[in-house]
Chains A and B, each alone.
Chain A
């Protein structure tokens, strides 16, 4: 369930993110997904997808997942298991998950922020990266669906 909190600007950002995550999982994966306590450091093994925002907002959305979580995500999206451990569909699925969450969050912003553009997703396995200090606002959030954990960093 999306977090419920008083509508401070920070809580609004988190609530929009929780709602975007929930919508993507319910509509595209037919699963529920809930926020957890703790930041992305609790996510084991790292596949990382990144979406960049440009225009009215400059920033990025980074999704971290383990190989196991990525495989379950691909299976849920496709309705079939990945054919091999390094199936490119697994990375593709994590990229699309990040894309839909970042886009969903962006579309919930007020005008003119909602008119910012988002990049195509970039997926790597090079581990956790430190966000550069150029972004003034940063949020870390962790989510779980059916015991599978992934993390999201938002910075802008």
Chain B
């Protein structure tokens, strides 16, 4: 499966990828973006690929374009429709969680996290996707 990880920290992108592999996901390709704008461009470029994305994981606090703006723009442009998005962020306040869900996020993981928590949030989304 193919996944897109969006985080301004290269360290955190690696940590998230490792957690996904520990969760048992067989990742054939991991696209990476350091902010929402890069992620949108990656989705635009990815439109015609034979093997579509299965999962998007995104931070919220990022320079250039944050994760909430990314969700809203992705929805408006109808990019990667049907691909589950899970937010992975230090921001755990209820208003932000609700805004993320209303903008199209299906899951929410607060940093710090364990690989088990990632598995518990991500696997049900992949089964129904």
Contacts and interface: CB of A to CB of B under 8 A. Distances in A.
Chain A interface size, under 10 / 10 to 19 / 20 to 34 / 35 or more: 20 to 34
Give the one of A96, A100, A119 with max B CB within 10 A.
A96
Interface string A50-84: 00000000000000000000000010011100000
Given A92-B10, A92-B11, A95-B9, A114 B93 contact: yes
Contacts of B63: 120
A77 B11 CA distance: 8
A10 interface: no
Given A92-B10, A102-B90, A103-B92, A27 B15 contact: no
9 contacts: A24-B112, A28-B111, A78-B11, A78-B14, A99-B61, A103-B89, A103-B91, A104-B111, A107-B93
Interface in B60-109: 61-63, 89-95
B114 interface: yes
Given A79-B18, A103-B92, A118 B12 contact: no
Q: Chain A interface secondary structure, helix, strand, loop or mixed? A: helix
Give the one of A99, A106, A117 with max B CB within 10 A.
A99
A18 interface: no
B32 to A, nearest CB: 13
Interface string A89-116: 1001101100110111011000000110
Nearest to B13: A92
B10 A89 contact: yes
Interface string A111-131: 000110111100000000000
Chain B interface size, under 10 / 10 to 19 / 20 to 34 / 35 or more: 20 to 34
A25 to B, nearest CB: 8
A100 B93 contact: no
A107 B95 CA distance: 12
A104 B11 contact: no
Nearest to A80: B14
A118 B10 contact: no
Nearest to B66: A120
B23 interface: no
Contact of A103 (B14, B62, B111): B111
Contacts of B94: 115
Contacts of B61: 99, 118-120
A107 B12 CA distance: 20
Contact of A74 (B11, B93, B113): B11
B101 to A, nearest CB: 16
B112 A118 contact: no
Given A115-B93, A118-B61, A100 B11 contact: no
Contact of B9 (A28, A92, A104): A92
